[in-house]
Amino acid sequence: MSEYILELKGITKIFPGVKALDKVHFQLKKGEVHALMGENGAGKSTFIKIITGVHQAEEGEMFFNGEKTHFKTPRDARKMGIAAIYQHVTCYPDLTVTENIFLGHEEVSPKIKRILWKKMHKKAGTLLKEIGADFTEKTLMGSLSVAQQQIVEIAKALSMDAKLIIMDEPTAALTKRECEELYNIIDDLKEKDVSIIFISHKFEDMYRVASRVTVFRDSQYIGNWNVDEISSDDLIVSMVGRQIDQYFPKKKSKIGEEVLSVKGLSKTGLFKDVSFNLKRGEIIGITGLVGAGRTEVCQTLFGIMKKDEGTVSIDGKEVRIRCPKDSMNQGIGYLPEDRQKEGLVMEWDIGRNITLSNMDTYSTNGWINESVERSISGEFSNKVHIKAQTIYDLVSSLSGGNQQKVIVAKLLALNPNIIIMDEPTKGVDVGAKSAIYQIMEELVEKGCSIIMISSEMLEVLGMSDRIYVMRDGRISGMLNRNEATQENILELAMLNKSADVQEL
């Protein structure tokens, strides 16, 4: 018997117009955690879909447990014990955890196919206990956090006796502490001889859980290494195919007078008494755990939500912001966190997406001036280096990184002075990441000011002049660039120093 549980050789997959995979190889040992890395669009997702039987490869062979196999449908793969957990958990929020775990393979009585609830609940309960979940099997899925939902997905995989679990960016939406819990679960799984393919853009994930790493680039296999043999710099080079000299291009920027001042901003149940200020040419980072109220504060500032109390002043004058249009008129631009839901019209082309928030500029008395619109959207597409053939390419056909660039172009077209960026590099590959940092740097050089919400520690430390940390809807502290470290940020984000009971 082969030492590999899964082996793929020379896999080629062609989609209409593109070669998504070009003769790639992959080998996974039993009980191994194997990281799969590469830029967005490198072919990782397609590769996973071939393993799980969603797509069929045009060429190549797959061996599972040493036997040559060929999955025609996801069902075939599931029967063999292959389970996949995707970045966006596909769950049924109005069903219980048990129902979610056993959906599609319920325990039924042999003859009349009655559902055996007691048996299912019991089995679900044991599974949850085994992987150390802090909720019960009868909880409603919708009331769980993203991290907890992921644990349910893992339980679901185990309930099907999965020998191989594929995790596609499981930590993208998780906080530091939740990641740590996930790592522990993965360690446990490893001991149970479950093999794991782990896809992530975060190096810390990879170094923490994986023992081997395989890199894809531009639909091709680049190489595989033992994790302890390769440095993150070398990995980046192998992923992007070039040296990224300055990952964080942050220079000492000229910081001017105060442009924005927020005082005592409150919204019942979400955040309380939030005050901060922003100076010209400055990048401030707002960080904290997911759910600390960072996004809510910024959406209130942008006019998506209404504040209960507090004042917002721009250039020293108090302003009233009741809707996004008001704040855009004040020169505020917002880059939303969820690009597919809040940022883009996915079925539209690149050009129309870029101009949507600024149509008044491309029109006279409400009539669209199409040639101006075309040339401006072309100009901004090239400014942020979107990889596409024409501005008529549909946004849904672009990779995640390029979609993010479209939103950045849309933001730049507004020509804002104050820019709020909510997780600007979430789910974005290394190349696009550094491009976005570069653009941020150019913006502050021009005199713009940026508020950056981010959970990624390196990004916060690397890009911000000052860092505000939030915890439970309040600002728990502010750190200057030179005094900020991962440790003191985490301390502010997680520890409740003052013991007083906080009411929201």
The β-bridge relationship of strands 309-314 and 317-319 is antiparallel
Burial class (CB in 10 A: 0-12, 13-18, 19+), 259: buried
Of 114-122, 228-236, 349-357, 489-497, the window that binds another protein (rule: CB under 8 A) is 349-357
Q: How many CB atoms lie within 10 A of CB 193?
A: 11
Considering only 10, 14, 130, 244, the residue that binds another protein (CB under 8 A) is: 14
Q: In angstroms, what is the minimal distance from the CB of 35 to another protein?
A: 29
# residues contacting another protein (CB under 8 A): 44
342 contributes a contact to another protein by CB under 8 A:
yes
Q: In angstroms, what is the minimal distance from the CB of 229 to another protein?
A: 30
Of 14-22, 149-157, 167-175, 453-461, the window that binds another protein (rule: CB under 8 A) is 14-22
336 contributes a contact to another protein by CB under 8 A:
yes
Please state the φ and ψ torsions of residue 415, each to the nearest 5 degrees.
55, 55
Strand (E) or helix (H) holding 370: helix 370-383
243 contributes a contact to another protein by CB under 8 A:
no
Considering only 144, 344, 408, 430, the residue that binds another protein (CB under 8 A) is: 344
51-55: long-range contacts, CB 8 A cutoff, minimum separation 24:
51/6, 51/8, 51/77, 51/82, 51/166, 51/197, 52/77, 52/82, 52/84, 52/166, 53/77, 55/13
Site string (186-225) toward another protein, x via CB under 8 A? ----------------------------------------
Question: How far apart (Å, rounded) are the C-alpha atoms in residues 391 and 432?
Answer: 18
348 contributes a contact to another protein by CB under 8 A:
yes
Q: Which ranges of 232-303 does DSSP label H, i.e. alpha helix? A: 232-240, 294-302
* Smaller CB separation from another protein, 220 or 363: 363
Considering only 233, 359, 496, 497, the residue that binds another protein (CB under 8 A) is: 359
* Smaller CB separation from another protein, 10 or 324: 324
Q: In angstroms, what is the minimal distance from the CB of 39 to another protein?
A: 15
Q: Which ranges of 192-229 does DSSP label H, i.e. alpha helix? A: 203-209
388 contributes a contact to another protein by CB under 8 A:
yes
325 contributes a contact to another protein by CB under 8 A:
yes
Q: How many CB atoms lie within 10 A of CB 118?
A: 9
Q: In angstroms, what is the minimal distance from the CB of 406 to another protein?
A: 10
Edge-first strand order for the sheet with 309-314 is 271-279, 258-267, 309-314, 317-319
Type of residue found at 408: V
Q: Of residues 368-387, which lie at the interface with another protein (CB under 8 A)?
A: 368, 374-375, 377-378, 381-382, 385-387
- Please check whether residue 273 is in contact with residue 229, taking contact to mean a CB–CB distance below 8 angstroms: no
Of 101-109, 218-226, 279-287, 342-350, the window that binds another protein (rule: CB under 8 A) is 342-350
Considering only 57, 83, 350, 475, the residue that binds another protein (CB under 8 A) is: 350
Paired with 85 in beta bridges are: 167
* Smaller CB separation from another protein, 410 or 474: 410
Considering only 334, 429, 463, 468, the residue that binds another protein (CB under 8 A) is: 334
Paired with 13 in beta bridges are: 21
Q: How many CB atoms lie within 10 A of CB 60?
A: 16
Question: How far apart (Å, rounded) are the C-alpha atoms in residues 207 and 205?
Answer: 6
390 contributes a contact to another protein by CB under 8 A:
yes
38 contributes a contact to another protein by CB under 8 A:
no
* Smaller CB separation from another protein, 200 or 299: 299
Q: In angstroms, what is the minimal distance from the CB of 143 to another protein?
A: 19
347 contributes a contact to another protein by CB under 8 A:
yes
Handedness of CA 234, 239, 241, 244 (dihedral sign): negative
Q: In angstroms, what is the minimal distance from the CB of 202 to another protein?
A: 27
Of 11-19, 104-112, 286-294, 442-450, the window that binds another protein (rule: CB under 8 A) is 11-19
366 contributes a contact to another protein by CB under 8 A:
yes
Paired with 471 in beta bridges are: 474
Q: Identify the CA nearest to 142 among candidates 94, 84, 78.
A: 94
438 contributes a contact to another protein by CB under 8 A:
no
Q: How many CB atoms lie within 10 A of CB 130?
A: 14
Here the tokens at position 115 are 């559902």
Q: Identify the CA nearest to 40 among candidates 357, 404, 296, 319.
A: 404
Q: How far apart are the first and last CA of the chain?
A: 61
Of 25-33, 47-55, 364-372, 464-472, the window that binds another protein (rule: CB under 8 A) is 364-372
Considering only 187, 232, 323, 502, the residue that binds another protein (CB under 8 A) is: 323
Question: How far apart (Å, rounded) are the C-alpha atoms in residues 40 and 38?
Answer: 7
482 contributes a contact to another protein by CB under 8 A:
no
487 contributes a contact to another protein by CB under 8 A:
no
- Please check whether residue 228 is in contact with residue 220, taking contact to mean a CB–CB distance below 8 angstroms: no
- Please check whether residue 441 is in contact with residue 413, taking contact to mean a CB–CB distance below 8 angstroms: no
Paired with 11 in beta bridges are: 24
Of 48-56, 122-130, 389-397, 477-485, the window that binds another protein (rule: CB under 8 A) is 389-397
* Smaller CB separation from another protein, 115 or 359: 359
Question: In a 3-state reduction of DSSP, which class is residue 148?
Answer: helix
Which residues are near another protein by CB under 8 A?
A: 14, 16-17, 304, 323-325, 328, 334, 336, 341-348, 350-352, 356-357, 359-360, 363, 366-368, 374-375, 377-378, 381-382, 385-392, 410
